[in-house]
Structure 1
C-alpha cells in the first residue's frame, strides 16, 4: 500500500473532533452520495454511515 492512502484512512478514522465541531466545513461532509441525502451536521452523516 502506498503511504498517502494509509494517511488518508487514518485521517478519516481519527476525525471525530472535526465532525463534532458545529456545522462548519464543506457541503460534501454532510452529503450521503449513496442515498442522495443531505444532513445538517457532519456527525449525523457519520452516524448514518455506521448504521448501514
Structure 2
C-alpha cells in the first residue's frame, strides 16, 4: 500500500514536472506546477 501510494505520487510528480517545464519555457505563469511536481516527486520517493 505504501509503495503503491509512493509510486503514484512519484508518477504524478514527474508528469507535473514535465508540464511545468514546458509551461516555463513558454513563459506562462503556471510554471509553479513544475515546482509542485518536483516536491511531490521527492515526497513519493521518500514515502516509498
Q: TM-score, normalised by structure 2?
A: 0.35
Greater fraction strand: 1
Instruction: Select the structure with the greater relative contact order (CA < 8 A; seq sep ≥ 6).
Output: 2
Greater helix share, structure number: 2
